[in-house]
């Protein structure tokens, strides 16, 4: 018996009409618009193309945006599970300006119509995700037969618009594949990529303004989900990102022109502590409360007067935000490292935290600081950014303060965190050497704790002069090690803690935790948080199970999809893997999987029971 959707699809193709409610509302609306434009669902779609010369000119017009989009497009392409996919960026006119395809997709028929220079507006191409997003201004997913033209029925696509700081669409991201089931996972990735692009463009556009970040939860101030609003020296609002519009929903955003139209208390009262680097509370006119901080960039002076220096988007020296939740340290190796680190800090001995990127080195440093002298400053130095600003000759002043002798800053004591110490070179290395020598020789009480990350004894920078290498070697004599996230015995507790901060109404089953251990994550905790956020978006509230992990995330161990009796034979492994893939997609329904595969239920059961 055919599904209601397929009956509606047949009626569309044969009668030019379909039953209301038989298809998703946004798809039905799009089909009706296509019929009103005189399109034939069984006909040949128009191969709309602007031509090579116009494409070159359009790319030049979008050059600044493309420079930001291209890295995200490459990252998105790498993150999408499996093969047979394409990622693309289109202009606000629906013209594809950049495309990345894998080999399998480039060999398909779909690749011949989805190429740079082609136009994918709904009025030309019928119902498709890119055209639908352009029409609605929202993220859209169109799978298989939901396309208006039957010839597009073999591909499924997800698209999301990219907005500028004035709320106007400036482009669209699109991901397409011939594998429909993968698109539910891809949808969250596309949305995250669009957010990253919007935030980078926002900062670039408003670098000479005050950029204020705010969120209802303080720990989210360092994430991409933060709201950002920009204002000039008089408090006039010059722009806001999409997340800010969502957070302030209910206020008259379109008619608001100044900071005080959104928040109580006045602009001057807020900007003074923000400019000092403090995190403050803001209250909007609906009495909602937010945590706020100023983005750590030095702003230029508007007008014709002399410009102040503008720093990199990533500051060299900055204060780490206070963590609101206690970190999870139940793994025996991690607890032992924490004990050694705290003991070293109390004795005033510097130490180095060794571990892969994303294993929690900064979190461990914060825990040590909070244990030893929480009321003192915790100053972090990104040595990669310091090297990029070679010749600035301000590193000493930035770390120790703006006083002439720095005596007050030295005597105050605190924690100096040198992140990626092995990357610092040239003049900044010399300056940092001066700072560390002064702090190591200081007799101040309670003194300074110097913590470094990114250096093992075998990774010392060979470009350092002898005296610099000698001083920095004192910082790395004592080392504490952090294991990879998947090797930690408290993996389940870490997962539960992070997920509760994202969505308290979601919980992980024991089998889901075991499945999460097999998921690849290069950046460990940061990637893990993104993966849990994807699960919270994709899964209904309640218990997240193993099948959800396998459906929405890329599991690193491919052999887990193959039963023991099929391993070792490539042909049998391929068949067995496909049976298990379809079985998971059918929510572990053996009968449904057998019907989709065209095999007996006993065949399906024989390949899954051995797991």
pLDDT tens column, 338-357: 999 999 999 889 999 998 88
Under DSSP, the state recorded for 145 is G
Q: CB-side exposure of 312: number of CA atoms within 13 Å?
A: 15
Band (pLDDT 50/70/90 cuts) for residue 304 is very low
b/e string for 446-484 if b means 16 or more Cβ within 10 A?
ebbbbbbbbbeeeeebeebeeebeebbeebbeebbebbe
Mean pLDDT of 481-490: 89
According to the model, what pLDDT value does residue 603 have?
87
Name which of 301-310, 378-387, 535-544 the model is least confident about. 301-310
Q: pLDDT by residue (tens digit) across 313-347?
A: 445 666 665 555 678 888 888 999 999 999 999 98
According to the model, what pLDDT value does residue 577 have?
80
For residue 260, count CB atoms less than 10 angstroms from its CB and return exposed for 0-12, middle for 13-18, buried for 19 or more.
Answer: middle
Band (pLDDT 50/70/90 cuts) for residue 456 is low
According to the model, what pLDDT value does residue 29 have?
94
Band (pLDDT 50/70/90 cuts) for residue 495 is very high
Strands (E), 433-571: 448-453, 479-481, 506-508, 542-544
Question: CA-to-CA distance for 567 and 561, rounded, in angstroms?
Answer: 10
b/e string for 294-309 if b means 16 or more Cβ within 10 A?
bbbbebeeeeeeeeee
* Mean predicted lDDT score pLDDT of the chain: 82
Q: What percent of the chain has pLDDT over 70?
A: 84
Alpha-carbon 147 to chain mean position:
29
Q: pLDDT by residue (tens digit) across 153-164?
A: 888 899 999 999
Question: CA-to-CA distance for 481 and 337, rounded, in angstroms?
Answer: 6
Question: CA-to-CA distance for 584 and 407, rounded, in angstroms?
Answer: 65
**pTM, 2 dp:** 0.52
Band (pLDDT 50/70/90 cuts) for residue 225 is confident
Mean pLDDT of 254-273: 86
* 8 Å CB contact between 133 and 169: no
The closest of 68, 75, 173, 70 to 522, measured between CA atoms, is: 75
| Per-residue tokens: 91 | 């202009």
């Amino acid at each position: 018996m055919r599904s209601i959707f397929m009956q509606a699809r047949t009626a569309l193709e044969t009668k030019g009409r379909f039953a209301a409610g038989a298809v998703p509302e946004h798809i039905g609306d799009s089909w009706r618009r296509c019929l009103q434009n005189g399109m034939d669902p069984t006909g040949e779609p128009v191969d709309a193309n602007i031509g090579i010369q116009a494409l070159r000119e359009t790319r030049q017009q979008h050059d600044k945006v493309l420079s930001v989009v291209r890295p995200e497009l490459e990252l998105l392409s790498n993150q999408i599970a499996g093969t047979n996919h394409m990622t693309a960026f289109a202009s606000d006119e629906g013209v594809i300006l950049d495309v990345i395809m894998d080999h399998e997709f480039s060999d398909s028929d779909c690749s011949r119509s989805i190429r740079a220079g082609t136009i994918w507006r709904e009025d030309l191409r019928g119902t498709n995700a890119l055209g639908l997003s352009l029409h609605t201004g929202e993220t859209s997913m169109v799978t298989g037969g939901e396309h208006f033209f039957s010839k597009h029925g073999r591909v499924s696509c997800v698209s999301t618009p990219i907005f500028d700081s004035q709320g106007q669409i400036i482009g669209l991201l699109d991901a397409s594949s011939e594998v429909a089931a993968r698109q539910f996972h891809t949808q969250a990735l596309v949305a995250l990529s669009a957010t990253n692009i919007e935030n980078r463009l926002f900062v670039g556009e408003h670098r000479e303004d005050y950029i204020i970040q705010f969120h209802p939860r303080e720990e989210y101030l360092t994430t991409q989900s933060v709201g950002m609003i920009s204002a000039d020296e008089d408090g006039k609002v010059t722009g806001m990102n999409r997340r800010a519009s969502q957070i302030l929903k209910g206020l008259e955003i379109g008619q608001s022109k100044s900071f005080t139209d959104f928040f109580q208390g006045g602009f001057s009262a807020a900007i003074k502590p923000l400019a000092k680097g403090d995190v403050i509370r803001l209250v909007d006119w609906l009495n909602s409360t937010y945590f706020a901080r100023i983005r750590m960039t030095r702003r230029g002076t508007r007008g014709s007067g002399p410009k102040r220096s503008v720093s990199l988007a990533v500051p060299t020296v900055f204060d780490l935000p206070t963590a609101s939740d206690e970190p999870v340290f139940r793994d025996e190796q991690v607890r032992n490292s924490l004990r050694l680190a705290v003991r070293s800090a109390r004795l005033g001995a510097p130490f180095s935290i060794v571990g892969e990127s994303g294993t929690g080195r900064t979190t461990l440093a914060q825990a040590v600081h909070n244990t030893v002298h929480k009321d003192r400053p915790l100053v972090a130095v990104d040595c990669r950014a310091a090297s990029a600003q070679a010749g600035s000759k301000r590193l000493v002043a930035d770390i120790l303060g703006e006083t002439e002798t720095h005596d007050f800053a030295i005597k105050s004591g605190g924690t100096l965190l040198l992140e990626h110490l092995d990357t610092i070179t040239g003049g900044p290395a010399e300056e940092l050497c001066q700072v560390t020598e002064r702090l190591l020789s200081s007799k101040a009480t309670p003194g300074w704790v110097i913590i470094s990350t990114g250096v093992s004894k075998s990774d010392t920078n060979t470009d350092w002069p002898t005296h610099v290498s000698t001083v920095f070697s004192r910082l790395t004599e004592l080392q504490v090690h952090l294991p990879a996230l998947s090797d930690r015995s408290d993996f389940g507790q870490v997962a539960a803690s992070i997920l509760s901060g994202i969505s308290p109404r979601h919980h992980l089953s024991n089998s889901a935790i075991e499945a999460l251990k097999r998921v690849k994550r290069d950046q460990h905790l940061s990637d893990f948080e993104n993966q849990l956020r994807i699960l919270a978006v994709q899964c209904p509230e309640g218990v997240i199970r193993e099948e959800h992990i396998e459906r929405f995330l890329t599991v690193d161990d491919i052999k887990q999809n193959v039963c023991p009796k099929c391993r070792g034979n490539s042909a049998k492994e391929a068949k067995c893997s496909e049976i298990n893939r379809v079985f998971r997609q059918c929510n572990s329904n053996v009968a449904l999987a057998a019907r989709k595969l065209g095999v007996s239920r006993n065949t399906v059961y024989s390949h899954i029971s051995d797991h």
